[in-house]
Structure formats: C-alpha cells, structure tokens
Amino acid sequence: MRKNLTLPTLIVLLIALLAAGACSLVAPPPEDAPITVKIHFKVEKKNGNTHLKMYDTFKRKRVVDTLETLVMPGDTVIWEPTNFFSRIKVVEKIGSEEKGKIINMDAEQIPGTRNFRLIIPENAPIPSEREKYDIEFKDRQGRTWKIDPYLRIPRERPTTQ
C-alpha cells in the first residue's frame, strides 16, 4: 500500500523546516547589549511596620527594603508589584529626590499597568557608586510609605543565577 503526502501535510512540513532553520540563523545578542532588569516587590508587615520584600532578575533571594540592583548603561529597569496580593493599593512614584548619574529622572508608569520603567543613561559611569531611590506607595489602608533601595553599575555585567 502506497501512502501519498497531501498538500496540507507538505505545507506544514515545509513551515516546520523553515522555522527550525530560521531559529539557528539568529545570532545571540552581544554580552554588553542592554537588557531588561525586573524588580519585583510586595508589602511585608513586621512588628506593626511596613516593609517591601523585593528581588530582581539577578537575585532570587528576597531582600527586605535594602535591595541593591545591578544595572548597566542602556538597560531598562521595570518595577513590578508581584500581584494583587502585594498589599499595595497604588505606587505613586519611583525616583530620586536628588538626580544622580544612574537615576537622572523619575521612572514612568507603563500605561495600563501597575509597573514603572526607567532607562539607565548611556553615559552613566562604569563602575558607579550605588544610588538610592524611593518607592512611594499607598497600602490597602490608604497610608503612604516610602522605601529606599539602590541601583549600582558594576565593572562587568552580572549573570543571572
């Protein structure tokens, strides 16, 4: 018994072969290419005080209030409340009172989301001192809080763990 390949089967097979070939032709980005670094955070209550439990792309361990995120010039930083259960009603501002070499403006809210974005200036120094910034937010009870973690530029790009 002889089996014939139908036209739809041939088309699917051709698309699969083209897709597999195209994937191997794409070169990986250079090591110094800008990346997106995400900072996840949520409210944590301890002894009646409000804190932010945070982690970023490079640190899987959660840190309370004092996260130091490593970024490179040209990188995009996205701040993202972890989920609805983050106990954050609204993030009012992410930025610094004193503009520095890494944080030279406030982060902008991404339309339609609760996330904020900041692009690290291309002329930021390598390496840099760490710069403090503020996350101002209201909790579910309507109280305003300000937590001040850090951004810093290391000598070399950090690797994800």
More confident residue, 28 or 144: 144
SS (H, E, C) 1-50: CCCCCCHHHHHHHHHHHHHHHHHHHCCCCCCCCCCEEEEEEEEEEECCEE
Contacts of 86 (CB under 8 A, 6+ apart): 41, 42, 43
Q: What tens digit of pLDDT does each residue of 107-144 get?
A: 999 999 999 999 999 999 899 898 999 999 988 888 89
Does the global pTM surpass 0.85? no
Q: What tens digit of pLDDT does each residue of 66-110 get?
A: 899 999 999 999 999 887 667 888 899 999 888 888 898 999 999
- Residue ranges of domains in the chain, CATH in brackets: 36-152 (2.60.40.420)
Lookup: tokens for 134? 């503020």
Longest dimension (CA), the chain: 80
